[in-house]
Amino acid sequence: MIHDKDYIIRIVKQFSEFLSKMILGGESGGDEIELQRVFDTNMNDTFKMDFATLSSKSSEEILQLINDKDNSHHIPFLELLGNLFYFKNKENPNPELAEKALVFYEQYLQKSGVFSMPIVSRIGELKKA
């Protein structure tokens, strides 16, 4: 069971790192089809659904999905969700995506107790838009 938990956390962190690279570097030097394949694979491995299905859920429904998971998974999932919705909003600006990114980033900061300048900066950017 402990190996399953470690595996889930590793998958979540890898997906979050992938998104961070996409956000920071625009990582578009790679093949767009390959990047989309990696994104889709990560979505399926992490959430067992595609982004369209996940984003169609309300923030409350998504938070409930996270709250149903092991407590040790909440913080990494909240950070990932913030990065995910932030990235998708950057890709295609949408007030609903921006609002979800804000909700998950704020939840992440509350639960983790960590001060993250990049996340605080993203929250500021999202609130201005």
**Chain centroid to CA 94: how far?**
16
Instruction: Please report, as a single letter, which amino acid is at residue 46.
Output: T
The rounded percent of the chain whose pLDDT value lies above 90 is 66
pLDDT at 3 over 70: no
Q: Which domain holds residue 117?
A: 2-128
pLDDT at 1 over 90: no
Reported pTM:
0.88
pLDDT for 88: 95
Specify whether the CB–CB gap between 83 and 43 falls below 8 A: no
Q: In whole angstroms, give the CA distance from residue 78 to residue 67.
A: 10
Per DSSP (E only), the strands in 2-129 are none
CA distances to 13, 49, 120 from 53, rounded to whole Å, are 21, 6, 27
pLDDT digits (tens, 9 = 90+) for 56-99: 999 999 999 999 998 889 999 999 999 999 999 999 999 999 99
Per the structure, the count of domains in the chain is: 1
pLDDT digits (tens, 9 = 90+) for 11-27: 898 998 888 887 766 65
